Amino acid sequence: MAKRVKTAARRKPAKRSLPKVAAGELKTLLDFVRYAVSRFSEAKLTFAHGTTDPVAEAAFLVCEALHLHPDQFEAFASARVTAWESGRILDLIAQRVITGKPAAYLVNKIYMRGLPFYVDERVIVPRSFIGELLDTHFRGDSDDSVELLDLLAVQRVLDLCTGSGCLAILAARHFPLAEIDAVDISRDALDVAARNVNDHGLADRIALHRGDLFGPLGGKRYDLIISNPPYVDAEGMASLPRECRAEPKLAFDGGADGLDVVRRILQDAPAHLTPQGGLLCEIGRGRERLEDACPHLPLLWLDTEDSEGEVLWVAAADLA
């Protein structure tokens, strides 16, 4: 028995490695994307951090290695890559496969609605559907049946659980007359948010607050409250893919049924909304559980290009 224990102690887990690539075998951006897709598929990676498939993720990493915006990929797809650039791209591909970290952490960047945001392991990688809904449901067109609030009537916006600050920044850009408050309980997250706010030149319009939900806001009221809170239930937390396990647990854990934080937001939001305001909140796949828990609330479920029934809208009058 003692011998077997000693032998087992010496045994190390097999290290994941990638096949060697000879100089010149891969020449164009498209060659590197194809190679990356093959390695990502072989490693059975998960794609849930701003990209939804191995092709999109490969193109993202190749562009970041070459300091190109993702929208520029097609224009340069057939361009040849230098030896130095080749090494940088292959290193990023290897890191993605070997570490399992989200690609955004490897390059400290993610794009939302075409805008770049700094990210690192202190914050969840942004991938909220709310950014799209700001563009589609708050357009200032009174003849549009999907409009929830008049764009120019929104004077104050609150972003709860702001994380990297991306939704607060998108709101500031979308609502030109609005002042934005953004709250998070994590000091580390707010450090990242402050960097993004400054990078986008919005420090004069976005105020960051540390605290638990509405706690640091006093009696302030808002025309619009947006939130992408923790909403993963216990079963989901137990089965998170390794990419997600690299992110802060605090940003995921929504309690046993995933709705602990959502319930608190719904309960306290009426005291912080103007009479004509409303709440836009992402809750993942908890729609059925929330409807069972709050049958009295007339919740409007909003779909996006990549989601169905994961974001709710409720007017202040209905919450009250």
Q: Mind listing the pLDDT tens digit for each residue in 265-285?
A: 999 999 999 999 999 999 999
The CATH number covering residue 76 comes to 1.10.8.10
Kindly report, residue by residue over 150-202, the tens digit of the pLDDT.
Answer: 888 899 999 999 999 999 999 999 999 999 999 999 999 999 999 999 999 99
147 and 209 in one domain?
A: yes
220 and 181 in one domain?
A: yes
pLDDT at 24: 75
136 and 73 in one domain?
A: no
Q: Is residue 4 part of a domain?
A: no
Count of domains for the chain: 2
Q: Are 260 and 237 in contact (CB under 8 A)?
A: no
The CATH number covering residue 280 comes to 3.40.50.150
**What is the spatial distance between Cα 284 and Cα 258, in angstroms, rounded to a whole number?**
9
144 and 191 in one domain?
A: yes
159 and 78 in one domain?
A: no
Q: Is the pLDDT of residue 61 over 50?
A: yes
256 and 144 in one domain?
A: yes
Q: Is residue 82 part of a domain?
A: yes
181 and 258 in one domain?
A: yes
| Six token digits for residue 211 | 């605290």
Burial (Cβ within 10 Å: 0-12, 13-18, ≥19) of residue 6: exposed
pLDDT at 222: 98
**What is the spatial distance between Cα 109 and Cα 138, in angstroms, rounded to a whole number?**
27
pLDDT at 180: 98
Mean pLDDT across the chain:
90
**What is the spatial distance between Cα 265 and Cα 158, in angstroms, rounded to a whole number?**
12
Query: What average pLDDT does range 293-297 have in this prediction?
Result: 92
* Percent over 70 (pLDDT), the chain: 92
pLDDT at 17: 66
Please state, in angstroms and as integers, the Cα–Cα distance from residue 182 to each residue in 133, 190, 217, following that order: 18, 9, 10
307 and 217 in one domain?
A: yes
169 and 71 in one domain?
A: no
pLDDT at 208: 98
Neighbouring CB atoms inside 10 A of 174's CB total: 18
Burial (Cβ within 10 Å: 0-12, 13-18, ≥19) of residue 20: exposed
Q: Is residue 103 part of a domain?
A: yes
Last residue within a domain, chosen from 107, 135, 156? 107
Q: What's the domain range around 225?
A: 123-319
